[in-house]
Amino acid sequence: MLIEHWAHRFFELAPEALVVLSVDGQIRQANAAWCRLVGWPLEATRHSAFRDFVHPEDLPLVDAQLKALAGPGGHSDFTFRWRGQDGTWKPFFWAVAAAPDADEFYCAVRLPTPTVEQALQRSEQNFRRLIDTAPEGIFVHSNSRFVYANPTLLKALGYDDASELIGQPIWSIVHPDDLDVVRQRVRDAVSGELAPLKEIRYLRRDGTWYDAESVGLPVEFDGEKSVVVMSRDVTERKRAQTQLLQNDRMVLAGTLAAGVGHEINNPLTYVMANLDSAMEALARLGGALSEAVPDGPGTVAWSTTLRETEGLLKEAQEGASRVRNIVRDLRFISRQDEERLEAVDVREPLDFSINMASSALRHRARLIKQYEPVPLIHADASRLGQVFLNLLVNAAQAIPEGNSEAHHVTVRVHPAPAGCVAVEVTDSGGGIPANVLPRIFDPFFTTKPVGQGTGLGLAICHSLIRNLGGDITVQSEVGRGTTFTVILPPAPEKPVVATPVAPAPAPPTERKGQVLVIDDEPPVGRSLARIIGPRHQVTLMGSGEEALAAFSAGKSYDAVFCDLMMPGLSGMDLYEKIRVSSPELSRRFIFITGGSYTARARQFLEGVPNRQLEKPFDVQLIHQFLGEVLDTH
């Protein structure tokens, strides 16, 4: 009994699945390992018909094997499928031996061990599935002809089936300009060397091409020396990199525009102020000479000289005014803050763009402006300036030089449906072919020669206008010119509030005052002092630190003209210190700006109530601001 007890315990605890079958096909006993393996609890299978769990297709095999074991001492090994509790079929390997009394069968059950051949076959299937689903294009060539190509490569090249490539020369997918490089890489790989990662242009079936990073490895394929090539399409990545580079260039251009504008504004301020002073001095001189020196035959013709000098000064004033307008226009591309949507008169950024494009238009076409009354739009003026400038330059480039009277570029502004505003830019150039029109707004698409265009201009314009909630379309006919139409949404309506009529600018105050001028450019300070005039006592200081020291020493002023951007202690920093120590004095600050705005400077100017004076100076505005400050003090 003890032996039977231990035998039963061994049967129950054995790690291998064990089961006892009766010769009539009943499951008599099974251990826990067997239950875990087949997925059935013992209670559900004990005394059940053995055949109920065998796959119908495997029953003849099982019956034949058990019949052959009918004699005592017989044993056999075979595999058949067993039904799990979830209804699925699993193959199991059975080692079966007949009991000495031939009344039952003792069985050991385990999962089948795959043969080497089966393992290799499964490994090959898995590898093939891996290659076929790989995101990289993969192909194998032997003797420079395709012997395999995966679906990713076929899709990238525009082929429907691998049979269209198998047997074809690999040179058929290589860009002609890269053939020499690829031939050398193939020679290296065939000789057993690695063809390292390199960018290669691949030709699609339709004749277009794409950039791919490619690497070649020597392999043996179907018993032949071959080369496996793995490639990855990097076209989108390169486009993104180019876009980022273009954005960096635009940011740099904006930074340069802001810096150049600021540097020009400072000398331009005192140039224009000195020209005004010279004109006034010339007028006074003419009046004095007319009383003291006769102007007639036999005398010095001073009046002619004065008139000629006055003409020269006027021409200089006109030139300086043109420079001032150019610098102001630069602000449209120097805006580097986030997009600011506001109510905009579309004619303002449009006129800015026309001014900036004038040099490109002047020698190619006549400019025709057709502006109809339109409502304000909801947009960012600087972004619109960028769009219109691009359209105008493109229109100019579509027209050959040398016969400007025969060609025109027409800019039309008119109302559009739903309260929108339409801006049309029409040129009399050669037009755009019909096969090109559908791709005109595609990124990196350009018909210009290499080095003369990135293909980003119209794509950026399209993106900017769509982001504003508008639309941009094109109509063109070869030989009849092109029209780009920009549709822009109206500005949201605001509650109507009665606006009081603004009073006319007050005449210069008669009150005299102590005026402080703070500017790190001495000529600017001196020119401002001359404009303010001898009626006031003007003190010039060249830095914020010097002014702060004077304030700290107890000096007070009736008005303070302070440059916003100065090295060291800026006008903003000086104002913040004075606002804390002397709020009344801080209200007398009039800020001078030269056009170079950092994010902080723009935020500062939007947040303070003080008056702001732009360089080059508006003389009337100087007197008006000064009078307002003195009259409130």
Q: What DSSP line would sit under 354-386, residue for residue? A: HHHTHHHHHTT-EEEEEE-----EEE-HHHHHH
Instruction: Give the pLDDT score at 118.
Output: 65
Instruction: List, for residues 291-326, the tens digit of each pLDDT value.
Output: 776 655 555 567 777 888 888 888 787 777 767 766
Beta strands 514-518 and 537-541 are: parallel
Q: How far apart are CA 534 and CA 512, in angstroms?
A: 10
Quick check: 547 and 570 in contact, CB under 8 A?
A: no
**DSSP-H helix ranges across 46-150:** 59-68, 116-133
Do 493 and 375 meet the contact criterion of CB atoms below 8 Å apart? no
C-alpha count within 13 angstroms, C-beta hemisphere, residue 545:
3
- Residues 228 and 217 sit within 8 Å (Cβ to Cβ): yes
Q: What number of H helices and E strands is found in the chain?
A: 19, 22
CA 568 to chain centre: 36
Q: What is the 3-state secondary structure (H, E, C) of 573-588?
A: HHHHHHHHHCHHHHCC
| pLDDT at 336 (0 to 100) | 47
> What's the alpha-carbon Rg for the chain, to the nearest Å?
45
Say if CB 268 and CB 323 are below 8 A apart: yes
pLDDT along the chain (633 residues), means of 10: 72 88 86 88 82 91 84 80 87 88 84 69 72 88 92 93 92 93 92 91 91 91 87 83 61 60 73 80 79 61 77 79 66 53 88 84 89 91 83 88 86 93 92 81 57 56 82 89 92 56 50 90 87 88 94 92 91 94 93 74 87 85 91 75
Question: What are the DSSP calls for 135-181, one per residue?
Answer: SSEEEEEETTEEEEE-HHHHHHHT-S-GGGTTTSBGGGGB-GGGHHH
Distance CA 395, CA 6 (A): 101
d(CA 503, CA 501): 6
Interacting residues of 602 by C-beta distance below 8 A, sequence separation 6+: 337
Which residues, listed in sequence order, are joined to residue 537 by a DSSP beta bridge?
A: 514
Q: What is residue 285's predicted lDDT score, i.e. its pLDDT?
A: 82
pLDDT for the residue numbered 308: 82
Pairwise CA distance, residues 596 & 275, whole Å: 24
Element (H, E) at 186: helix 179-190
Q: At what angle do helices 544-552 and 571-581 cross, to 10 degrees?
A: 10
The DSSP line for 345-359 is -THHHHHHHHHHTHH
φ/ψ of 433, rounded to 5, equals -60, 150
Question: Which residue segments constitute the domains of the chain, with CATH numbers given?
Answer: 2-113 (3.30.450.20), 117-233 (3.30.450.20), 241-334 (1.10.287), 342-488 (3.30.565.10), 514-631 (3.40.50.2300)
Tell me the Ramachandran region of residue 511: left when phi exceeds 0, alpha when psi lies from -120 to 50, beta otherwise.
Answer: beta
Global model pTM greater than 0.85: no
* Structure token digits, residue 630: 């003195």
The DSSP bridge partners found for residue 200 are: 212
CA 456/CA 240 separation, integer angstroms: 11
For residue 282, what are the contacts with CB-CB under 8 A and spacing of at least 6?
306, 309, 310, 313
Instruction: Please report how the helices 347-356 and 302-334 are oriented relative to each other, as an axis angle in degrees rounded to 10.
Output: 110
What are the angstrom distances between the C-alpha of 434 and each of 36, 220, 438, 479, 484?
Answer: 72, 50, 8, 12, 15
CA distance 200 to 202: 6
Distance CA 205, CA 289 (A): 87
Whole-number pLDDT of residue 617: 80
pLDDT in the model for residue 450: 41
> Which of 593, 461, 584, 472 is closest to 524 using CA atoms?
593
Q: How far from chain centre, in Å, is Cα 612?
A: 35
* Phi/psi at 46 (5° precision): -60, 135
Among the listed residues 230, 327, 218, the one whose alpha carbon sits nearest the alpha carbon of residue 269: 327
Rounded-to-integer distance, Cα 588 and Cα 555, Å: 14
H/E element holding 327? helix 302-334
Q: What is the pLDDT of residue 254?
A: 57
Q: Which of 326, 339, 350 is nearest to 260 (CA)?
A: 326
CA distance 557 to 540: 12
